[in-house]
Amino acid sequence: MNPAKRRAIFERLREANPDPKTELDYTTPFELLVAVVLSAQATDKGVNKATARLFRVANTPQKIVDLGVDGLIPYISSIGLFNTKAKNVVALAQILVHDHGGEVPRSREALEQLPGVGRKTANVVLNVAFGEPTMAVDTHIFRVCNRTNLAPGKDPLAVEQKLDAVVPDEFRLHAHHWLILHGRYTCVAKVPKCPACIIVDLCEFRHKTRLVEPKTVARGAVKRPAARVPARRTRG
């Protein structure tokens, strides 16, 4: 994809949503960190429901340590993998208390050493909590970048590096939010909503969906609503 087209895509996404936000509820970097750790293989809505109750009683590393794994589990048991996540959240809270003065570190290396925190989670925290222009490549961004040819790559790290290399500076802070939301609501996994897509003329996906009118099979036949033609599956 050429740079002019790439720029035009981000201009459209920015125009439609000038100040995109994460859909996870949080008020501090620690709350964000916990919410992101809990969100692996879970919906933001489900995580928000759990953290709304949890953060009322424990929203600092020390309070989570005091709660302990057994005390934390009832708050997050509606979320997938809650046993493992409870252990990770308590363990990372202990490290923050002992090694970081109870604060979330603003460093990729330190973040990635916390239990349950991988590169993507570190990128989300650095971007959302600290305003760093990082690209947190999740399944939605991976799919959108490959389908559109905006920043193709064989795995999330390759896509992240490509985005780092090609996204113009003025779009870097919000790029991952725009792409996540585009993938979550428009360029969805099974049947992308190409007819409603604001970048349809810029996207280089070869199997865009379209609306087709059903053929009239007999005089007087009732006209049915237009049907959506599914696209072929792609990676991601």
159 binds ligand SF4 (CB under 6 A): no
> Cα 148 from chain centroid?
17
Closest contact distance (angstroms) between CB of 13 and ligand SF4 is: 10
148 binds ligand SF4 (CB under 6 A): yes
Contact assessment for residue 220 and residue 183, using Cβ atoms and an 8 Å cutoff: no
Residue ranges of the alpha helices (H) in the chain? Answer: 3-16, 29-38, 44-57, 61-76, 82-99, 108-112, 119-128, 139-148, 156-166, 172-185
**Gap between the Cα atoms of 158 and 77, Å rounded:** 34
**Gap between the Cα atoms of 57 and 120, Å rounded:** 27
228 binds ligand SF4 (CB under 6 A): no
Nearer to ligand SF4, 30 or 205 (CB): 205
**Gap between the Cα atoms of 115 and 161, Å rounded:** 24
Nearer to ligand SF4, 75 or 205 (CB): 205
236 binds ligand SF4 (CB under 6 A): no
Beta bridge partners of 212: 227
33 binds ligand SF4 (CB under 6 A): no
Closest contact distance (angstroms) between CB of 236 and ligand SF4 is: 11
Which helix H or strand E contains 227, and what residues bound it?
strand 227-228
138 included as an active-site residue: yes
Contact assessment for residue 107 and residue 134, using Cβ atoms and an 8 Å cutoff: no
Site for ligand SF4 in 178-217 (CB under 6 A): 186-187, 192-194, 197, 199-200, 203, 205, 208
Closest contact distance (angstroms) between CB of 130 and ligand SF4 is: 29
Give the three-class secondary structure for 212: strand
Nearer to ligand SF4, 121 or 209 (CB): 209
Give the three-class secondary structure for 58: coil
111 binds ligand SF4 (CB under 6 A): no
Closest contact distance (angstroms) between CB of 123 and ligand SF4 is: 22
Nearer to ligand SF4, 91 or 166 (CB): 166
Nearer to ligand SF4, 86 or 163 (CB): 163
154 included as an active-site residue: no
Contact assessment for residue 166 and residue 148, using Cβ atoms and an 8 Å cutoff: no
Q: Which residue in 138, 154, 162, 208 is the catalytic one? A: 138
Neighbours of 115 (CB within 10 A): 16
Where in the sequence numbering do the catalytic residues fall?
120, 138
Q: Which residues bind ligand SF4 (CB under 6 A)?
A: 147-148, 186-187, 192-194, 197, 199-200, 203, 205, 208
